[in-house]
Structure 1
Amino acid sequence: MITGAIKNKVDKIWTDIWAGGITNPLTVIEQLTYLMFIRSLDEKELENEAFENLTGQPVEKIFPQSEQGQAMRWSRFQERDPREMFDVLSRRVFPAIKQMRGGKLPELDADGNIIEPDDGAFDEKSTDVTAFSRYMEDAMFLIPTPQVLQKIVTGLEDLYEHDLAGLDMQGDLYEYMLSKLSTAGQNGQFRTPKHIREMMVELVPPTPDDKICDPACGTAGFLVSAAESVRRRFESTMTPEQWKHFAGEMFTGFDTDRTMLRISAMNLMLHSITHPEIDYKDSVSKQNNIAGQFDVVLANPPFKGTVDAESIHDNLKAVTNTKKTELLFLALFLRLLKKGGRCACIVPDGVLFGSSKAHQAIRRELVENHQLQAVISMPSGVFKPYAGVSTAVLVFTKTGAGGTENVWFYDMKADGFSLDDKRSETQENDIPDIIERFRHLDKEAGRQRTEQSFLVPKEEIAGNNYDLSINKYKKVEYVPVEYPSTAEIMADLHELELEITEGLAELEEML
């Protein structure tokens, strides 16, 4: 979470952009994201150079080694005259990032013009072109003047140098900027908090050989968290083949917003995923025929709204005949997964207890035909300030042959942050307990329904129309409270009345 001081600096940059004539908040976010990405490329290059100097092993460079190529680096142009900096960014750097391939910027000629590669020069990295470059084709550099650009660059440099070291910059800064959008939370354009993403990754921990998908990827937060988990646990043991898999086909994301796709591609590239499968696709429509391809699905799909019934894929309607996106996405997750594939996803509470045929059908599918493992109920403040909806995390494995014996329920009461709009850090945090208990479900068998977590047999759930709301099964202990008798209360009232009368008499004497 970013502090008030950082927010003030971001607000100052935002005001400078608005004063320059860019008044659409989403355009502001896009332009800032481009500059953040350009700076991060230089940071990554500095890391490459430091590693090369330390080990003596050559590292593939991002920037061309020519004088013109090195002039495109943030550290080289940020101190230049505003007009020179504006010229470098608008005429060289921005066009160059639109043509990145294989995580490298294209070569420039002596005049600073991009040298077009020979046909077939990037055949080996052709997936890079589709994953990144095609979503930059319609990107535009819209910062209007050298003076406005200088203010933005100076402001961002101050943020990076003094305030944002070690933070999840791409996500946290983007999350705060989205709070300025009037549509935040209505179109699904807000991040799942990083600590919630990391919890969900821990519940279905990916391996270096897995293929991971988020069919409503937004800014690719889940894919980044999954990548960080794999690196943290397997970095020292991964084979060259696994690293090649990690850099590309391991990660797949779909979205219907080209702005989000651009941000996703940039975010993933900064995490060493140079050619992910990031595609423009309406995941629940007939244009998406992908099935049985992924080992892990992690997602927070759109909750609100419905889709055109004619465009919905028939095999999703066969599972749950509805236009509600939250139900259709659950059916989609099952279709996308291989047998044995795992999913952790966020759903609104209505999915857990909704009484319509479509609601009951998808819950029955999970319980009877696959292995539903966990329902983690989260407090309504988790997504504030963007939304106050109550949600839960579902964890299940695709089997196609049942396997649900007991479903584990957990009542999360705290996630390490206050549940108001400020979301300040607190000591109360159930997430470590959730992860620990989920990894040792054999120890949960003896827990009572009055405790924070417990197991419920499949038969009991089936007998309740597959209701998955924790309140359906949780028992509340009522502690008897003894109140004074009526006679005692009346005696106390009379005593008070006498005290008041005596007090009034004393006041009258004083007058």
Structure 2
Amino acid sequence: MSNLSSFIKRIRDVMRNDAGINGDAQRIEQIAWMLFLKVYDAKEEDWEFEDEKYESIIPEALRWRNWAHPENQGDGLIGDKLLNFVNNKLFPTLKNLEITPDTPIRQSIVRTTFEDANNYMKDGVLLRQIVNIIDELNFGSYEETHAFGEIYETILKELQSAGSAGEFYTPRAVTQFMAKMIKPQIGETMADFACGTGGFLSSWIKELEEVKDAKGSISNEESEKIYNSIYAVEKKQFP
């Protein structure tokens, strides 16, 4: 990806031409579900590498890698065919995935994410252009993984200016300051019962990573404690 501003501008320019997108709130939600599937697909690659028995909760034909990648567009999944696929197959299936008390959170989050999500775009050609732009991101790249954080921050800031449909979020400078004042230690846990987009969660983890770096080396058990040290609840699925 050349740079963040170019990435965001390209998406905006395409979406402005779609009659289904009405305002910032819809544009952000449209970007969000596609970014989610792209990121989730990258995480599944990690889980498959770590566990050869891993099975995706997403049906094979609906996984991002199997319909979004350019090399998998040979079936003509563009225009009306793409819209039909997204509206009548992708969304209905992901909204109704079977979830049980034993379903791992990393899998149940798929249905949770799509329960209140919508595809607002009405032009399948423009939708394919957006999918292609997002598919250019490479989350196997260290640089682009961190650039994704900037994309995330940009989306959060725009949520504030999305009119009555916008969301409030605590600026990262505030959550980072709070985490620094608390001075979390490895082994401690925290809970945020109105976590929104998870700003305080990420700031907490960042502080614990700095504790880890200061120690030089830590055990696998301590490392696991860092990433299992947060608990959060958010009533609304969109954030």
Q: TM-score, normalised by structure 1?
A: 0.36
Distance 1:229 1:60 in 2: 31
Tell me which residue corresponds to 1:76.
66
From 146, 151, 163, give the equivalent of 2:124: 146
The equivalent residue for 2:83 is 86
Aligned residue in 1 for 2:156: 175
- The CA RMSD over aligned residues, in Å, is 3.9
Equivalence for 1:424: none
Q: 2:233 aligns with which of 253, 271, 278?
A: 253
Deviations 1:342-365 (A, max 9, x none): xxxxxxxxxxxxxxxxxxxxxxxx
Deviation track 1:191-233 (CA, whole Å, cap 9, x = no partner) reads 513x553343233233454442334422111113323444663
| Cα offset, 1:10, TM superposition | 3.6
What does residue 171 of structure 2 align with?
A: 192
Counterpart amino acid of residue 70 in structure 1? E
- Helix, strand or coil for the counterpart of 1:202? helix
Q: Give the whole-Å Cα distance in 1 for the aligned partners of 2:87 and 2:232.
A: 31
- Distance in 1, matches of 2:129 and 2:109, equals 32
2:30 aligns with: 31
Superposed counterparts of 1:87-166, under 5 Å: 87-99=84-96, 106=97, 116=98, 122-125=100-103, 133=111, 136-158=114-136, 160-161=137-138, 164-166=144-146
Correspondences of 1:356-505 after superposition (within 5 Å): none
1:60 and 2:54 aligned: yes
Q: CA deviation at 1:175?
A: 2.9
For 1:230 and 1:254, the matched residues in 2 are separated by 23
Alignment: residue pair count: 220
Query: Match of 1:174, as an amino acid?
Result: I
Q: Normalization by structure 2: what TM-score?
A: 0.69
Q: Distance in 2 between matches of 1:14 and 1:139?
A: 17
Aligned to 2:215: none
Q: 2:62 corresponds to which letter in structure 1?
A: M
Q: What secondary structure does 1:251 align onto?
A: strand
Residue identity in the other structure for 2:56:
I
Q: Relative to structure 1, is the Cα distance of residues 123 and 175 closer, same or farther in structure 2, using a 3 angstrom cutoff? A: closer
1:20 Cα offset (Å):
2.6
- What residue in structure 2 maps to residue 477 of structure 1? none
User: In the TM superposition, what is the alpha-carbon distance from 1:41 to its structure 2 partner?
Assistant: 1.1
Looking at structure 2, the residues matched to 58 and 129 of structure 1 have their Cα atoms a distance apart, in angstroms, of: 16
The CA distance in 2 between the partners of 1:170 and 1:216, in whole Å, is 22
Contact 2:187 2:222 in 1 (8 A): no
Unaligned runs of 5+ in 2: 213-217
AA of the residue aligned to 2:101: D
Rounded Cα–Cα distance in structure 1 between residues aligned with 2:104 and 2:132: 36
More strand by share: 1
Mapped pair 1:220 → 2:198: yes
**Shift in Å, 1:31:** 1.5
Conserved 8 A contact 2:95-2:114: yes
Q: Does 1:262 align with 2:238?
A: yes
* Separation of aligned partners in 1, 2:35 and 2:86: 13
Q: State how far apart, in whole Å, the 1-side matches of 2:151 and 2:95 are.
A: 19
Structure with the higher fraction of residues in helix conformation? 2
Answer yes or no: is the 8 Å Cα contact 1:63–1:73 preserved in 2. Answer: no
Amino acid at match of 1:219: T
From the superposition, tell whether residues 84 and 171 of structure 1 become closer, same or farther in structure 2 (CA, over 3 Å).
same
Rounded Cα–Cα distance in structure 2 between residues aligned with 1:157 and 1:166: 16
State how far apart, in whole Å, the 2-side matches of 1:34 and 1:209 are: 34
- Tell me the CA shift for residue 37 of structure 1: 0.2
- Measure how far apart 1:153 and its partner are: 0.8
**C-alpha offsets along residues 146-188 of structure 1, whole Å, 9 cap, x if unaligned?**
2231121123234x2599442215622413543652469xx76
> How much has 1:91 moved relative to structure 2?
3.4
Code of the aligned partner of 2:28: I
* 2:195–2:234 CA contact under 8 A, matched in 1: yes
Amino acid at match of 1:5: S
Give the letter aligned to residue 23 of structure 1: N
The corresponding residue for 1:47 is 46
